Amino acid sequence: MGIRNNSSGCSADALARVLLLVLLCCAGLFPAYAYEGSLPAKVAVSGLQGPAGMTVHPETGDIYVAEKTAGRISVIRSGAASPVISTGWSLDPNIPFWAVSRELSKEALVKPALNNPGSVAIATNGTLYVCESTPSGRLLEFAPDEQGNYTKGKIIPIPWIDRPFSWTDVKVARDGRLFLVGGVAEADVLHFGTVLMRDEQGDWWVVDYGPFINFSSVYLSRNEDIVIVCERDLGGVVWWDAVRHLPIGTLEESGKNISADAVSLMVDGAFVVGQNLAAGGARAVRVDPLTGEQKDLISGLDRIGGLLLSSAKNSLYVSDEAKGVIVEASVSPSSEGMEYLLQRSLDGYQMGEGFTPRQAPGFLKNFFSQVGSAQTGATGEEEGLDAVTDRLTMSFSLREFAAKIPLIAGKIETRSLEEASASVSEDPLTLIEFVIFFPGKTIASGDLATPSLAYFAAQRKSGKVERTRELFSGLNIRQRKSGGEWMAGGDNARIMVPVSSVGLEKSATGMDLNLAFLGLGIYSDYYLRLTSGQENTGEIVVEGLDGTREVYRAVFTEMAKVGMGAEVGSEIKNLVVAGFDPMQQDSGMGWLNIGRSPVNVAVATSMSELHEFAGMDSKITAMMKKKDREIISTRPEDVVEGASPQPVAPVEAGDSPETQPAVSNEADAAAVPSSAEEAAP
């Protein structure tokens, strides 16, 4: 639902303002800023008060901006800003008792005024989320009314947060997930930084946290399966697999005396980092996620507050807090696919860790549908062959299948090598397709064992094809058991050519595959050396029966077109290594689920007895308290507090309940719930 536009035409006042603006420009009185860098940039809107985080409406394409100094949210239309959340709104007073404390009273929580709003995000239904970049800042939700106005909001309480966090950025995914970053500063020393996520069910997760970390910005990939987080003081960037909850990659600090205050994505998947320089001034730089190489996009800014890419308008927007403007820079559509650099980073991480890809590529689905239709027989005639094939294709899940049957599959096109001009025959090889089940392993079945199964096809320019076929069938099976005894297993054994051989080797950036398909004197021998991950390259060597040797370059990536089962313009990889996912505990620590209420809630049942209800596993509670002790121990001596305070006496009815600490080893402050429902664990 969009915002109602009450303008029905160009009024006399509006026309007067336009004429005044023209006169000011002609007189040289309107602010004009010169920007340098590789992108052509201009001021899109001026007159803002501390513009910071921005978001784009999914339907109208309008830009919404948080104005820190003015304490409002504005929408940009026709080069002018109009407030949408400023005054005249209210907050729902119903909030959990544990969200209230003596330091942050209920009156302060429900006060209808934005205090230094740092960022704004908009959901697909038009709901706005606003975070306050001030100590004990709030996370607020505003749903539009029937007229599209934002007059009523509510507080989103955050469990585990017991210190005066300042929230710097918020993002919302299409499925409703919220991402929030912020930190706490005490005595000019950053005490704690965190990245949080609220899932579709309302549970909160800790994505990242730690002492002396100052998270400044968060951004989501186009598919919203990768989360990019920027760290202000070190100027670093880390990106996470939002499906597996594991880190994909990290780029170290961008330079001394440089703070990274905002992050976004270019169309090609490179990071855009907003850097504020200690010596003064600011710039937006492009950072390659694979190499870390930097390139200036826009310089000549004063202080960057936020970044936003609008792929629909092919524009990058930068808010300049100091100058009170939003700068717009034109960006070119990616010629190699949407966010292909970030996708290659994900591919390298998946291949390097041995994870099954997110989705099965079209060529593999097509293979399984062909196998299904070939084996339907009478059933296919009864149901209709198309119906059976569609059912098999739609129900196919690579993750579920590969968990039982590991596989390597590929659709490899060839390109000639200039340095090997004499290595290609008059009828060159054009395409290789293969699927290998249980690659490089022997399949055990009871007391018998059979080699891994492979299907292979090599096509020439003339149309000639060498494909897998039976060399012998109906062979007797015999196997030596322990003790030297031989056992007969029937007469259904067979030998198929070519015979496959597989070698896998993981690297930091992906996986190297060495594949051989041996023709046993019937077909040519095919050798494939493929590097898959951040770099997707390879070579094919064919040794013919007559002793000839052909060398080709292997190509297994292409751009998606209509009907390929992927977004047009995205990069598709026609190579799959699936079914080797490592155990979670061997892959690093994932995100931490902290639920919907504080980790610990102490309820007073008498003046002398406290009962503690653990909202999460005891290991999590212990870990958080340990983390807090580590933070205190690493703080400078002049900041370290004294001995832990003594337990707080239970509060009397009517007093404001204390916030319950979630990660602190400070004593829990008891609170008397206002109802039996609130007293439940």
Mean pLDDT of the chain: 77
φ and ψ at residue 426, rounded to 5 degrees: -70, -25
Question: Can you give the pLDDT at residue 633?
Answer: 61
What's the CATH superfamily of 44-347?
TolB, C-terminal domain (2.120.10.30)
Task: Tell me the pLDDT tens digit for each residue of 556-577.
Answer: 988 877 766 677 777 888 999 8
pLDDT at 392: 43
CA dist., res. 549 & res. 542, Å (int): 6
Higher-pLDDT residue of 442, 64: 64
Q: What is the pLDDT of residue 145?
A: 92
Give the residue from 182, 198, 29 showing the smallest Cα distance to 123.
198
Q: Three-state SS for 7?
A: coil
With CA atoms as reference, report the closest residue to 97 among 598, 557, 583: 598
Say whether pLDDT at 529 is over 90.
Answer: yes
Contacts of 604 (CB under 8 A, 6+ apart): 610, 650, 651, 670, 671, 672
Residue 609 predicted with pLDDT over 60: no
Q: Using N-to-C axis directions, what is the helix angle for 385-395 and 362-374, rounded to 10°?
A: 140
28: pLDDT strictly greater than 70: no
Residue 52 has pLDDT above 80, yes or no: yes
Sequence ranges of the domains in the chain:
44-347, 356-360+397-581, 598-679
Q: How far is CA 123 from CA 2, 170, 265, in A?
A: 11, 11, 19
Eight-class DSSP state of 661: P
pLDDT at 357 over 90: no
Alpha-carbon distance of 120 to 238, in angstroms, equals: 22
Q: Let me know the angle formed at the C-alpha of 345 by 340 and 346, rounded to the nearest 5 degrees.
A: 95
Residue identified by tokens 């294709």 is: 393
Nearest CA to 371 out of 398, 393, 402, 387 is that of 393
Identify the pLDDT of residue 254: 67
Between strands 152-155 and 90-91, the pairing is parallel
Average pLDDT for residues 592-616, to the nearest whole number?
Answer: 55
33-37, 49-53, 102-106, 637-641: segment of lowest average pLDDT: 637-641
- Say yes or no to pLDDT of 26 above 60: no
Residue that has been written with the tokens 């850097």 in this structure: 275
Q: What is the pLDDT of residue 362?
A: 78
The candidate with the shortest Cα–Cα distance to 544, out of 514, 515, 523, is 523
Report residue 603's pLDDT band, with 50, 70 and 90 as the boundaries: very low
* pLDDT reported for residue 616: 37
Contact present, 76 and 62 (Cβ < 8 Å): yes
pLDDT bin (cut points 50, 70, 90) of residue 330 is: very high
Average pLDDT for 601-615: 43
Count CB-CB contacts under 10 A for residue 511. 22
The 3-state secondary structure of 550-606, one letter per residue: EEEEEECEEECCCCCCCCCCCEEECEEEECCCCCHHHCCCCCEEEECCCCEEEEECC
Is the model's pLDDT at 679 over the cut of 70?
no
Task: Give yes or no for a contact between 521 and 545, defined as CB atoms under 8 angstroms apart.
Answer: yes
Q: Give phi and psi for 200, each to the nearest 5.
A: -65, -25
Confidence of residue 166 (pLDDT cuts 50, 70, 90): very high
CA atoms of 415 and 423, how far apart (whole Å): 12
Percent above pLDDT 70 for the chain: 69
Helix, strand, or coil (residue 374): helix
Segment 152-168 shows an average pLDDT of 90
pLDDT at 407 exceeding the cut of 80: yes
Rounded CA separation 658/438 (Å): 59
Phi, psi (degrees; rounded to nearest 5) at 653: -60, 135
| Residue 444: predicted pLDDT | 47
Q: How far apart are CA 86 and CA 83, in angstroms?
A: 6
Closest CA to 143 of 346, 3, 350, 15: 3
Amino acid identity, position 6: N
d(CA 522, CA 538) in angstroms, rounded, equals 25
Q: What angle do CA 602, 607, 608 make, to 5 degrees?
A: 80
Predicted confidence at residue 452, as pLDDT, reads: 65
3-state SS of 324-337 is CEEEEEECCCCCCC
Query: Residue 120: its pLDDT value, please?
Result: 98
pLDDT of res. 391: 44
> Strand ranges (DSSP E) for 40-177?
41-45, 51-56, 63-67, 72-77, 80-85, 90-91, 117-122, 128-132, 139-142, 152-155, 166-172
Could you tell me the end-to-end alpha-carbon distance of the chain, in angstroms, rounded to an integer?
A: 38
pLDDT tens digits along 487-522 = 665 555 667 889 888 888 887 778 899 999 999 899
User: Measured between alpha carbons, how far is 160 from 176 in angstroms, rounded to an integer?
Assistant: 21
**Run of H or E including 369:** helix 362-374
Tell me the pLDDT tens digit for each residue of 112-145. Answer: 999 999 999 999 999 999 999 999 999 999 999 9
Mean pLDDT of 354-370: 76
For the chain, percent of residues with pLDDT exceeding 90: 44
- For residue 430, give the nearest of 414, 418, 417, 416 by alpha carbon: 414
Is residue 16 predicted with pLDDT exceeding 90? no
pLDDT number for residue 160: 78
Question: Which pairing describes strands 63-67 and 72-77: parallel, antiparallel, or unpaired?
Answer: antiparallel
Q: What is the pLDDT of residue 189?
A: 58
Q: Average pLDDT for residues 88-101, to the nearest whole number?
A: 90
pLDDT of 325 strictly over 70: yes
Q: Looking at per-residue confidence, does 309 or 453 come out higher?
A: 309
